[in-house]
Amino acid sequence: MPDELDKPGGDGTISEIANRQHGVISSAQLIMLGISRSAIGDRAAARRLHRIHRGVYAVGHRRLSDEGRWMAAVLACGDGAVLSHRSAAALWGIRRPRNGPVDVTVPSTAGKTTRTGIALHRSTTLIASSCTRRLGIPVTTPARTLDDLRPLLSQAQFSSAVREAEFRRLQIGDQRRGDGARSELEVRMLSLCRRHRLSHPAVNVPIDRYVVDFLWPHQALIVEVDGWEAHRSRSAFEEDRARDARLAVLGYETVRFTWRQVTDDGRGVAATIRARLRGRC
């Protein structure tokens, strides 16, 4: 006789599904395995299942990772639901995880807008191309996630999220402001140029296989501005050096400034750029 763990609908099958879903399973999935609602109740009473949301259970114990909490919230909201907003940003690694309700978006405008432990968003623009999976969790794409975040964050916070997404090489499309800047540091650099009467550079320009922060095309001068997070690893530092060398071969000079230089020594930064522009006329 087959062991109970190996039977379809046995504990082994349930654990296998839960392991793929960060420790959680839905009642709909349990019913598809042939487990009746009364049997689900029996398993919950025996503490083999632990209710997280209505219709969603943790298997074996209630201790869930962030990924488990996020997956449970998505399962609780039914077909088409995806992790979104701040929770999606945390899953993509562009914002820190936070306590509190999990953000989930569903492709609808009807029904309840709140659930305990879930911040439920309803949208008529949530289409298939706006959704994907990360670590097995249905989630909005990085680009859609940033679109959802924009009205919720300050400009500085949003710029930081965009910069982190770029650092992680996520596909985010064009998140630029009207002036072309994509980060708070780029905004400050453009303000510095205006304040010190430097000619206006092109912003976020593709050259070869790169996108450079600022370009004065007639002088072939590139300026890159680097926040502290841009060089958290030796490989990132070395990539910048290789990039600068490649651009030099193509005839461009690259000058780099840090956040501190742009914010605390604007006069010195402007003087350096002005001198390099004159030197390359």
- Separation between Cα atoms, residue 260 and residue 265, nearest integer Å: 7
Per-residue CA distances from 262 to 49, 83, 90, 229 (Å): 55, 37, 29, 15
pLDDT digits (tens, 9 = 90+) for 66-99: 999 999 999 999 989 999 999 999 999 999 998 8
Residue 2 pLDDT? 42
- Separation between Cα atoms, residue 188 and residue 270, nearest integer Å: 12
Residue 230 pLDDT? 47
pLDDT, averaged per 10 consecutive residues of the chain (281 residues), comes to 48 90 95 92 94 94 94 94 96 92 86 77 87 97 91 81 86 69 81 91 89 93 76 65 92 94 94 94 75
Residue 184 pLDDT? 74
Contact predicate 222/253, CB 8 Å: yes
Contact predicate 90/119, CB 8 Å: no
> Which residues is 224 bridged to in the sheet?
256
Residue 17 pLDDT? 94
Antiparallel, parallel or unpaired: β 131-134 and 137-140: antiparallel
